[in-house]
Amino acid sequence: MCGRFVVARASAELAAELDADIVTEHPAPVSYNIAPTTQIPVAIDTMADDGTRHRRLESAKWGLVPSWAKDETVAVRAFNARSESAAAKPTFRDSVRKRRAVIPADGYYEWRTAADGSKQPHYIHPADGSLLLFAGLYAWWQRPDNSWLLSAIILTRQSPAGPLAELHDRIPVFLNHDDLTQWLNPAHPGDSELVAEFAHRAQTRAAQLQIDRVDRRVGNVRENDAQLIAPISQ
């Protein structure tokens, strides 16, 4: 999966679709060209002292910064994680076990390289306009000034045979809305088997996606408007 995606819905709409009962006061902005290290919306479940489970819609840095990191520059290298190995990697294994997240999106971009070496972007999104849900992980990192940074990554898996594989050999691990309670459950320790189960389920959602050729302006992170996802002629 390439490192660009789209969130075209405001936080109130995302909170309603994700059944979040707590919403951050500083939401990630609507964006048609999200790049790594910028702010993204994430949903996480937490347990209150009285045992009540809450779903929170937060804003996180895209790129995981584990609690033991010396500085937050590691986020540049850790915006995606392979589902096949995440549970065994020191950077991700604690998050697999107890800090799993959902990253909502309207769609994401991939590039196809032509015979002449030029790269054509494509926008991948649900054909029915529904929300995409990426399986993710999150972490908290304490800055030198004692403030806290929330960061997150997107889990990926091998692309199933077909049009998606022709664009890239990896896709995000897609979740269905009915998966959220199980995936986000902070009381259920995660492991490689749990991740593999959800990675396998992602094939169903992948089959429902539409691929549109879009404007090459997507390649410039400073470009950010709704016309970026408008289909263009072949």
Whether the per-residue pLDDT at 1 is higher than 70: the answer is no
| Mean predicted confidence (pLDDT) in 179-206 | 95
Q: Does some domain include residue 193?
A: yes
Quick check: is 110 catalytic?
Answer: yes
Q: Which of 2, 72, 84, 223 is catalytic?
A: 2
What is the average pLDDT value for the chain, to the nearest integer? 94
In the chain, the number of structural domains is 1
Quick check: is 2 catalytic?
Answer: yes
Q: Does some domain include residue 42?
A: yes
Worst-scoring range by mean pLDDT, 18-32, 60-74, 137-151, 152-166?
60-74
- Structural domain range at position 12: 5-107+128-158+169-211
pLDDT at 2: 67
Q: Does some domain include residue 224?
A: no
| Mean predicted confidence (pLDDT) in 92-96 | 95
Secondary structure in 3-state letters for 82-137: ECCCHHHCCCCHHHHHHCEEEEEECEEEEEEECCCCCEEEEEEEECCCCCEEEEEE
Q: Which of 17, 110, 166, 197 is catalytic?
A: 110
Whether the per-residue pLDDT at 115 is higher than 80: the answer is no
pLDDT band at 74 (very low <50, low <70, confident <90, very high): confident
| Mean predicted confidence (pLDDT) in 163-188 | 95
CATH number, domain at 59? Answer: 3.90.1680.10
pTM: 0.95
pLDDT at 78: 78
Q: Does some domain include residue 112?
A: no
